[in-house]
Amino acid sequence: MFKQATNLEELQQDLAYNLPEYSFSHEKNLFAKYILAKKTGLFGAVISVKDGKITVRPYNPPSLAAVGGALAILVTRMVNKKYFKARNELYEYLNVHYQDVEKKS
């Protein structure tokens, strides 16, 4: 049976309990609040909930964007396999346990 995502706090508690290899923190930008999930180093995933729909996308570190801009992010996406690994692992878990999960790049 699928669960419906209601808010970030409940989702973060579920993820932290079931995926202890990740660290989770709440972050906020100009537009929304989200969960930042990191396994190691710079790579991780951003998880957001809007109207009961969960969106998972790769994390773009601010330092990477500041150093090389959009070109550095594009090259990292093409070359480094770890860039999408966290997003894919989290998406697989969420897609099995929750309804309305979307994976973005």
Q: What is the pLDDT along the chain (105 residues), one digit of tens a residue?
A: 678 777 899 999 999 999 999 999 998 888 889 999 998 767 789 999 988 899 999 887 665 555 566 666 666 655 566 778 888 999 999 999 998 999 997
Q: How far is CA 1 from the centre of its chain?
A: 23
pTM of the complete model:
0.80
Contact 34, 60 (CB under 8 A): no
Q: For the chain, give every domain's residue range.
A: 8-100
Calpha distance 12→4 (Å, rounded): 13
